[in-house]
Chain A
Amino acid sequence: MLRLPAKSAAAFLIIQKMIQAVTFKTKGINFREKAFRKTLTLSALVAVILLLAIFITLLLHSLPSIKALGAGFFFNKTWDPVTDDYGALPFLVGTLLTSFLALLISTPFSIAVSIFLGEYYKKGPVAGVFKNIIDLLAGIPSVIYGFWGLFVLVPVVRLLQLKLGIPPYGVGIFTSSIVLAIMILPFSVSLSRQVISMVPDDLKEAAYSLGATRFEVITKVILPYTRSGLFAGLLLALGRALGETMAVTMLIGNTHALPTGIFSPGNTMASVIANEFSEATGTVYTAALIEMGLFLFIVATVINILGKQIIKRFTV
């Protein structure tokens, strides 16, 4: 407690120096301009500092597990808190399976909706209503998706499993993926729609003048032209799917075994953390859970940066 003021004073000095460095070249502009700029810079810096601080906190707290388990953490199939043996492989597989399956399910819908809103109904009341509804999907709390999945989707999937002759769990990787697919739809649609609506009219008109039909314009001009933008949209959606916790925890069946197929129950990294962190005791146990959080953090960040880079290349 006593050390804090000294720390924050030092922090303040550092920030001041940084701001001086940044604003060095803008001497002579009047004071208000400068003060405004300083405030903005500070707020931007706070965000960066927080991100780094989260990363460093995760890293420091996962050190005991990194030391005790090493790289085996990612290849070990057993997760047993009783014997202090932790391997994240089943959860890694669970996370990747649910996320990519969700992406697979949502992609056709996301592209279809994007073409509909970006090409056919760019403006007007119909477009407004559809856009708002799609955006609303992103605003629904994930626990509600979980409830909906439990009450509606699980019985349906159970019937399907009975027909197929597999154990009728209802919950599992497949069920989670369907709900995830709906949850990530607005994220890819919002980007893809904009990209499609930005295709230059010259290009489309040139194709029409050569006798192309609308379908041909979409498949031969718009989609190739917007390819990287659509891909970026999917990447952002994937980043969202990887970290989703609540709905998945409610629907995935929460078993520690390596999933054997898309209908089998499993666990994702996020759901294990949500399930076990609050009652985790013991240094390595807690650290192993945090290490999983660190890994999830890194994967999500890399995917986001990748997506942003592709968007940048597309728009320049």
Chain B
Amino acid sequence: MNFKKIMVPLVALSLGLASCGGNQSEQAGGTASDVNKDGILGAGATFPYPFYSKVFDVYNKEKGIKVNYQSIGSGGGIKQLQNKTVDFGASDAPMSDEELSKAPAPIVHIPSALGAVIVTYNLPGNPVLKFTPEVLANIFLGKIKKWNDQTIAAINPGTNLPDLAISVVHRSDGSGTTYIFSDYLSKVSADWNTKPGKGKSLDWPVGLGAKGNEGVSGLVKQTPGSIGYVELVYALQNKMPAAELQNKAGNFVAASLATTTAAANMDLPADMRVSLTNTDAPDGYPIASFTYLLLYKNQKYDNRTEASAKAAVDLVRYVIHEGQQYATALGYAPLPEAAVKKAEEILQSVTYGDKSLQ
């Protein structure tokens, strides 16, 4: 068999096949927006998925409009919105300036609910522990190595702390939970801010990594003397021990839906792209965050119809008003009134060409 004769066209063909994948954005543009045929398409964060899926289900029953939401992760949601393959995106962290500048048109952030990250641990009897920001940062930096360390004992008088090594457990997968947690630690600890900093994945100074909330909580439950962080929803569902954290006002606050909502009682910027961690609110839990729905500010793009633009805006309006009543039962903190008002203002700025969508 003539080997060369075959290999040359083979390589050429493979090259062609490999380069086929580059044009996804061109393929899908414009086709996603036909309300009647496909319903409304959304994609993004996994954290609010149970909440969205409940609200969208009720919306479908009330208005007869289907919403197809794919929980592919915040990063994926942002990418799909940039490629205009969905009507709305969803993200746990606000888009960075760099990400916004890469988008083809201005994008608005509309908060839909709040989440929080709790600090859980495995100690004999699981007492309710109190942590100051410095102590928490130093534990996750590996500077405090034992549970009976002076600094922990000083803020937990009367608690019997064992002579046990602290094993830190963190998320191994890239995650919005890690982003919020490290965002908080970066604000309260100068050391943490220089290294490792904040991000969805970090170069952790100490500890073991586990995949997902279930991985972290599993490892914490198995390992005596361990400490880790998980989402509030997950901790509530699984009745895990959670530490009280000292907030900026100096109060020790337990994580709950009420204290999470309270965290948003601060000065909110007009575009709502704000980090709520280390909040000024005196009764607010310090590691809380908005989760966002993302829309193009000008809904007239590609061959999108006004009807589908209005459908998307109406849906988002439903989520921030009527939809809020379903949050608490599912373990999500509803938006405080001030935040709903601000979100409504942003929503009113969304247009179709020059036309308002009210």
Q: Which residues of A contact B (CB under 8 A)?
A: 1, 3-4, 7, 10-11, 14-15, 17-18, 21-22, 45, 48-50, 52-57, 60, 78-83, 150, 154-155, 158, 167-171, 249-250, 253-256, 265, 267, 271, 275-281
Chain B residues with CB below 8 A from A170, complex form? 222-223
Known: A22-B1, A279-B74. A52 touches B14 (CB 8 A): yes
Q: CB distance B76 to A22 under 8 Å?
A: no
Q: What are 28 pairs between A and B in contact, CB < 8 Å?
A: A1-B23, A17-B9, A45-B6, A48-B10, A49-B10, A54-B18, A60-B19, A81-B174, A81-B200, A81-B202, A82-B197, A83-B197, A150-B222, A154-B222, A169-B167, A169-B208, A170-B223, A250-B215, A253-B209, A254-B208, A254-B209, A254-B211, A255-B204, A255-B207, A275-B201, A279-B175, A279-B201, A280-B75
Supposing A45-B10, A170-B223, A255-B208 touch, asked if A81 and B17 sit within 8 A by C-beta, the answer is no
Q: How far is the CB of B183 from chain A (nearest CB, A)?
A: 11
Query: Which of B26, B74, B199 is A1 in contact with, Cβ under 8 Å?
Result: B26
Q: Is the CB of A11 within 8 A of B16?
A: yes
Known A-B contacts: A11-B13, A80-B202, A275-B211. Give 20 more (CB < 8 A). Answer: A1-B23, A14-B12, A14-B13, A49-B13, A53-B15, A53-B17, A78-B203, A81-B201, A82-B198, A83-B197, A150-B218, A169-B208, A254-B209, A256-B204, A276-B201, A278-B173, A279-B73, A279-B200, A280-B174, A281-B78
- Complex Cα–Cα for A203 and B203 (A): 59
Please report the C-alpha to C-alpha distance between residue A268 and residue B13 in the assembled complex, in whole angstroms. 33
Q: Decide: A249 near B211, CB < 8 A? Known: A18-B9, A81-B201, A82-B197.
A: yes
Q: Is the CB of B209 within 8 A of A255?
A: yes
Q: Are A15 and B13 in contact (CB under 8 A)?
A: yes
User: Is B173 in contact with A275, judged by CB distance below 8 angstroms?
Assistant: yes
Q: Is the CB of A275 within 8 A of B209?
A: yes
The number of residue pairs between A and B whose CB atoms lie closer than 8 Å in the complex comes to 138
Closest-CB distance, B90 to chain A (whole angstroms):
14
**In the complex, how many angstroms separate the beta carbon of B275 from the nearest chain A beta carbon?**
16
Is A49 touching B202 in the complex (CB atoms < 8 A)? no
A253 touches B208 (CB 8 A): yes
B266 adjacent to chain A (CB < 8 Å): no
